[in-house]
Amino acid sequence: MGRIEFAIAFLSILIAVVAPGPSHAQTWTAAERSILRSLWIGSLPQLPKDSSNQVADNTEAAKLGQKLFFDMRFSGNKKIACSSCHKPEKGFADGLPLAQGMGAVPRHTPTIIGTAYSPWFFWDGRKDSQWSQALGPMESPVEHGGTRTEFAKILYSNQAYRKSYEAIFDELRDTTDESRFPNIAAPIDDPQSRAAWDAMKEGDRQIVSRIYSNIGKAIAAYERLIIPGPSRFDQYVEAVLNGDQATQKELFTDDEIGGLRLFIGKGNCIECHNGPLFTNNDFHNTGLTPRTDAPGNSGRAAGVKSVQADEFNCLGPFSDAEDADCGELKFAKLSGAELIGSFKTPTLRNLGKTAPYMHEGQLSTLSAVVDFYNRAPKAKIGRSELKPLRLTETELFRLKRFLMTLDGPLMVPQALMSPPR
Amino acid sequence: MAQLGLFIIGAFAALFLVLAPPPAAAQMKMEGGHGAAHNQRGKPASAHGAHQADTRPTKIPEHLDVARTKFSEQAKFSVNVTSRLDPVTINKMHSWVLNLKNPDGKPVRDAKLDISGGMPMHGHGLSTAPRVTKNLGDGKYLIEGVRFNMAGWWELKIVIDSGHHKDNVTFNLILK
């Protein structure tokens, strides 16, 4: 072997040893492994206690809630249930840009998966518990379009409902007397429903609102059980934490690894999409252009005011919580420029099933999403927190490939995925 | 020996070639391609107008003071803060105890404290509105309602009004 050939062979070996080839891409530093662990589903804690709902972990309540969740009778036209928009087969969302109930809903349907871990509900956080959230759409004229007196009457007239309600809560009060309990009455914007509600005696209103809040608590007991299962990403992290290189290679392509590096690195995604549910459950302005000039565009700025005034909030008369359990509500930020035009960070788990994206379904594909974050356009309302990422097309592709690894099965028994028998 | 020397030099040269960042020209080419994509939409890469007047720091300063005990800006008070959540982790509501003394080390009781803060690199404030909920006595105050919603550099700013003196203090936290 001549000197030159020897030098070439020597350098080739050297390059093979130190060059960042595909096998090298599998290496994560201790700090990176710690970040991966924080995103791993194994880091998801036990379901947090919902002190505001004393039946949150009651299996009978969950069964009742499941029935209610799928029951279309609890709507103005008897055609809408919670499951109309939160379809189990579509990741408990609906696949539409904007939800469609009895009318056109100005928001994209968020998934229910893992929401038991969130302190805030709706895109603008105008509710502070799963049970209180469940009550919102039921009286919204464009969603279920019903009223609480109707709902109380449906429960009372149905033997099975009445029996299970009384087994879980207490006596279901008789609301059949129309002179005391009009068929349609609720403290909502609709003038007729409102007038009928205002004409009722305070004690009767309390009876109805108590039943209504219990409907929400039963639905929440069911919704709490809808939690995500391990995705391919979680299996990969397990392999990383176990130092199992072979399994890592089987599970993730170089593009997916590259995407994960961007996700926790210069893509800045992890700033808000953190923790095992890939969300900090907080509110951020990302500069999305609203579809209309609706007043709801102020996002959290309006949402936090609504939740403070809500009779069904943690501190309200229908909550089972002690004052000390209501930290999120008591210490909620009420003002500040960053609340304007800010909306809740959604989970990224199962996002392959929950397109389109964003609070008004503005972005129809994952490609559009990563492109949007890359450009970070100026906000039309408030100020965007984003900075342009300036990623290359290849990097955007890798990021997208990584995001697709977050799809996984739900940790939900099949029996909970459809109406109970 | 001369051959060995040559190999060592060769090895270092190879190492340099492999490990050195891509040349600036290559990077510019990548960015040029990226900018061109924007041009197709009529939005050049430089048209991110919202960010042009951005005064936010782009990185955590070297030697950032992360002490939990320090004098206030005008040295009117000595202030210590201790989190009741240790280590401080993100997305968890928790409380802090603030211990307030005058520069001589005597407790400052019945002061008014106003708490704010945020992330200097992001330009946003705290995600909650913490406040003093209990005067624990002996210059100690309970601050409830603190929740940080992301990792990174946070500031906790406290305006202190003892009735005799008013001063500010800022604590830095690096959360992982």
Among A227, A253, A277, the domain boundary falls at: A227
pLDDT at B42 over 70: no
- Percent of chain A, pLDDT > 90? 91
Q: Which residue has the tokens 């320090």?
A: B70
Distance CA A342, CA A283 (A): 5
Backbone angles phi, psi at A219, to 5 degrees: -60, -40
Report DSSP state, residue B136.
E
Nearest CA in chain A to B58: A387
Q: Give the pLDDT confidence score for residue B56 in this predicted structure.
A: 83
Q: Is A363 in the same domain as A264?
A: yes
Choose the closest CB to B150 out of A271, A287, A379.
A271
Q: Where are the alpha helices (DSSP H) in A44-181?
A: 59-70, 82-85, 130-139, 148-157, 159-168
Length of chain A: 421
Distance CA A28, CA A7 (A): 32
- Give the relative orientation of helices A3-18 and B2-19 as an angle to the nearest 10 degrees: 40
Among A227, A250, A270, the domain boundary falls at: A227
Choose the closest CB to B18 out of A19, A280, A334.
A19
Report yes or no: A199 and A187 within 8 Å, Cβ to Cβ. no
pLDDT category of residue B92 using cuts at 50, 70 and 90 = very high
pLDDT at A177 over 90: yes
The dihedral formed by the CA atoms of A254, A260, A264 and A267, expressed in degrees to the nearest 10:
90
Q: Is A197 in the same domain as A261?
A: no
Q: Bigger pLDDT: A93 or B45?
A: A93
Its sign, for the CA torsion B87, B90, B96, B98, is positive
Write b or e for each residue in A375-399: b if 16 or more Cβ atoms lie within 10 A of its Cβ, otherwise e: bbbbbebbbbbbbbbbbbeebbbbb
Q: Name chain B contacts of A327, Cβ cutoff 8 Å.
A: 93, 144-145
Residues A246-302: pLDDT tens digits?
A: 999 999 999 999 999 999 999 999 999 999 999 999 999 999 999 887 777 899 999
The verdict on a CB contact (< 8 Å) between B122 and A3 is no
| Token duo for residue A378 | 């100026």
Q: Name chain B contacts of A10, Cβ cutoff 8 Å.
A: 7, 10-11
Q: Give the pLDDT confidence score for residue A1 in this predicted structure.
A: 47
The dihedral formed by the CA atoms of A85, A89, A91 and A97, expressed in degrees to the nearest 10:
-50
The dihedral formed by the CA atoms of B11, B17, B20 and B22, expressed in degrees to the nearest 10:
-170
pLDDT category of residue A217 using cuts at 50, 70 and 90 = very high
Residue A126's domain is classified under what CATH number? Answer: 1.10.760.10
The complex's ipTM works out to 0.88
Say which residues have a Cβ less than 8 Å from residue A316's Cβ, sequence separation at least 6: A310
Choose the closest CB to B127 out of A271, A333, A393.
A333
Closest CA of chain B from A417, distance in Å? 30
Q: Which helix (H) or strand (E) holds A399?
A: helix A393-403
Q: Is A126 in the same domain as A198?
A: yes
- Percent of chain B, pLDDT > 90? 64
Q: Is A105 in the same domain as A139?
A: yes
pLDDT at A130 over 90: yes
Its sign, for the CA torsion B49, B52, B55, B58, is positive
Its sign, for the CA torsion A79, A85, A90, A92, is negative
Q: Is A262 in the same domain as A116?
A: no
Structural domain count, chain A: 2
Closest CA of chain B from A319, distance in Å? 20
For residue A331, give the 3-state DSSP assignment. Answer: coil
Q: Do the strands B112-119 and B94-101 form a parallel or antiparallel pair, or are they unpaired?
A: unpaired
| Domain positions in chain B | 2-51, 69-175
| Token duo for residue A414 | 């099949």
The 10 Å Cβ neighbour count of residue B102 is 15
Q: Is A142 in the same domain as A266?
A: no
The verdict on a CB contact (< 8 Å) between B149 and A282 is yes
Among A177, A193, A227, the domain boundary falls at: A227
The CA R_g of chain A, rounded to the nearest whole Å, is 25
Of the ranges A292-301, A373-382, B153-162, which one carries the lowest mean pLDDT score? A292-301
pLDDT category of residue A12 using cuts at 50, 70 and 90 = low
Q: Is A288 in the same domain as A161?
A: no
pLDDT at B44 over 50: no
Is there a domain that residue A399 lies in?
A: yes
Q: Does A336 contact chain B (CB < 8 Å)?
A: yes
Report yes or no: A389 and A370 within 8 Å, Cβ to Cβ. no
pLDDT category of residue A2 using cuts at 50, 70 and 90 = low
Is there a domain that residue A416 lies in?
A: no
Residues A305-336: pLDDT tens digits?
A: 999 999 999 999 999 999 999 999 999 999 99
Residue type, B162: S
Host domain of residue A64: 59-227
Q: Which of B27, B91, B134, B157 has the highest number of chain A CBs within 10 A, making it the mutation to test binding with A?
A: B91
Q: What's the CATH number for B69-175?
A: 2.60.40.10
CA-closest candidate to residue A314, choices A44, A7, A6, A52:
A52
Nearest CA in chain A to B5: A7
* DSSP characters over A230-285: --HHHHHHHHHHTT-HHHHHHH--HHHHHHHHHHHTTT-GGGTS-TTTT----EE-
pLDDT at B18 over 70: no
Q: Is A273 in the same domain as A378?
A: yes
pLDDT at A20 over 60: no
Is there a domain that residue A147 lies in?
A: yes
The CA R_g of chain B, rounded to the nearest whole Å, is 25
Q: Give the pLDDT confidence score for residue A405 in this predicted structure.
A: 98
Q: Bigger pLDDT: B123 or B5?
A: B123
Is there a domain that residue A88 lies in?
A: yes
Q: Is A222 in the same domain as A242?
A: no
Q: Is A241 in the same domain as A128?
A: no
Length of chain B: 176
Q: Is A278 in the same domain as A355?
A: yes
Q: Give the pLDDT confidence score for residue B30 in this predicted structure.
A: 32
Is there a domain that residue A307 lies in?
A: no
Distance CA A152, CA A68 (A): 12
Closest CA of chain B from A143, distance in Å? 31
Residues B74-88: pLDDT tens digits?
A: 999 999 999 999 999
Q: Does A281 contact chain B (CB < 8 Å)?
A: yes
Q: Give the pLDDT confidence score for residue A197 in this predicted structure.
A: 98
Distance CA A255, CA A373 (A): 19
Q: Does A375 contact chain B (CB < 8 Å)?
A: yes
Report yes or no: A151 and A138 within 8 Å, Cβ to Cβ. yes
